[in-house]
Amino acid sequence: MTVTTDEVIPPSVESVKKSGTSTLSRVAKYTSVRLVTLFITVVIGVYLTIMIANMGGYVDQIMRGEIRERVTVQVVNNPDVRRLDPDARNQLVLEKIALEEKRLGLDQPLVIRSFRYLANALTLNLGRAQNMTSDSGSRQVRLIILERLPATLLLMGTSNLILFFGSIFLALSLSRIYGSFWDKFIIALSPTSAAPPWFYGIFFILIFAAVLHVLPFGGMVDAPPPDDPFLYFLSVLKHLTLPASALIISSLFLSIYNWRTFFLIYSSEDYVEMAKAKGLSSRDVERRYILRPTLPTIITNFALLLIGLWTGAIITETVFLWPGLGRTLFRAIGQYDTPVIVGSTIIYAYLLAITVFLLDFIYAIVDPRVKVGG
């Protein structure tokens, strides 16, 4: 989640050699090769996730054991069945176990099942959850995920957008006055980003909820939710403040520091000195000579931020009882619900692949030195 200059993917700078008729075929060839490699990457990544979610068959055993126990208890507690003789009862138990295993697909070997999961995932046919249900009672993985998506987008979107634009803006201001008190102050504070958001979250809950009683401990809206849309909005805002601040604070200072250092490296380029020497206003220098060449990096980070919204924040959401995707995923893991785990992973993988693919073209648009597939 933290933005470091090292992680930035540098655009492939190539000098312009050939042009004209070959451009189209070159772009087409590059596009197809890139799409195929990205697709293979997604396939392998998702297949690995499926295998891990089953621990190579280990989870099947756990599930079989659980089914056996559940069905047996169910049958034993059924007064109608108690009257049957033991053989008939055992027969019933075995039948029910077989039925339940068939429902969860356990009657097929893992290899076959894993490929079916993979095929379904790749065609975005998310299917039905094994044990989980959405709040409205549906077992559709799509509905389970869609139900939680707004909460996660609200929390992650608010905090990450504020974090991103806030830190770039502050970093630019700092790079202008570098060496000053505020610059040193931010540098001194940047080690605080070693702690994850949930850690600040706990402190925020302690101070603002437990001691000062000004903000709620967790949740997304008051119970019962207010009817008036404006009051509802205020209530959500109140609940949003602490988790969003925790997410922002935990990476703010390091993010500012990294952007500041990044801008400083670019502002010590010769052409910037040249522009200054020409007597351009500092505003123009900043916009045209510092920000312009850093645009690919800024766009990359922004794109990665956008897809990062999807994963949610498992622990922060858990600490703040925020009903988002992260918590759903955590619950899905706890219930061995492979379809939900895979569904969440495949969407992230696709988003990532599409973003990486599109970034190549965006670089070519914003940076005249870059050529697609050049």
Partner 1 sequence: MGVKKSMKTLKRSFQQILRYPSAVAGLIVVFTLIAISIYAMIKIPYNEAIRMWRGGEAVWYQNPKWVPPAWTNLFTSKKLAESFALDAEDSNVTKVVEERGEGTTRINYTYDFDFNFDEFPQELILYFTSQYDTKEPFVSILMLTPDGRELRIGDFAVSNRQTYRFSQDSKLQRRLGGVTPEIGLFADPNFETPTPLKGSYQLLVNGVTFEEGSDINAEFVMHGQVFGLAGTDHQRRDLMLPLLWGTPVALAFGLLAALGTSVLTMIIAAVGTWYSGWVDSLIQRITEVNLVLPFLSILIMVGTFYDRSLWTILGVTILLSIFTGGIKSYRAIFMQVKESTYIEAAKAYGAKDSRIIFHYLIPRLIPLLLPGLVSAVPAFVFLEASLAVLGLGDPVLPTWGKIINDAQNNGALYKGLYYWIVEPAALLMFTGLGFAMLGFALDRVFNPRLRGL
Letter for the amino acid at 272?
V
Q: How many residues bind partner 1 (CB under 8 A)?
A: 56
Of 80-88, 136-144, 281-289, 331-339, the window that binds partner 1 (rule: CB under 8 A) is: 331-339
236 binds partner 1 (CB under 8 A): no
Q: Please say which residue, 93 or 153, places its beta carbon nearer to partner 1.
A: 153
225 binds partner 1 (CB under 8 A): no
Letter for the amino acid at 292?
R
Q: What residue has token string 């785990």?
A: 341
354 binds partner 1 (CB under 8 A): no
Q: Return d(Cα 49, Cα 32) in angstroms, integer.
A: 26
Q: Return d(Cα 113, Cα 119) in angstroms, integer.
A: 10
Q: Return d(Cα 176, Cα 182) in angstroms, integer.
A: 11
Whole-angstrom CA distances from 80 to 74, 75, 84 are: 11, 9, 8
Of 88-96, 141-149, 158-166, 257-265, the window that binds partner 1 (rule: CB under 8 A) is: 257-265
CB of 49 to partner 1, least distance (A): 6
DSSP string, 288-349: IIIIHHHHHHHHHHHHHHHHHHHH--HHHHHHTT--SHHHHHHHHHHTT-HHHHHHHHHHHH
Name which of residues 204 to 223 contact partner 1 (CB under 8 A).
205-206, 209-211, 217
199 binds partner 1 (CB under 8 A): yes
- Rg from Cα positions in the chain: 27
Binds partner 1 by CB under 8 A, chosen from 92, 122, 314, 354: 314
Residue 17, CB-side half-sphere exposure with 13 Å CA sphere: 8
62 binds partner 1 (CB under 8 A): yes
Name which of residues 334 to 353 contact partner 1 (CB under 8 A).
334, 336, 341, 344-345, 348-349, 352-353
Q: Return d(Cα 101, Cα 357) in angstroms, integer.
A: 41
42 binds partner 1 (CB under 8 A): yes
Give residues in contact with partner 1 (CB under 8 A). Answer: 6-7, 37, 41-42, 44-46, 48-49, 52-53, 55, 58-59, 62, 178, 187-188, 190-196, 198-199, 202-203, 205-206, 209-211, 217, 261, 264-265, 311, 314-315, 318-319, 329-330, 333-334, 336, 341, 344-345, 348-349, 352-353
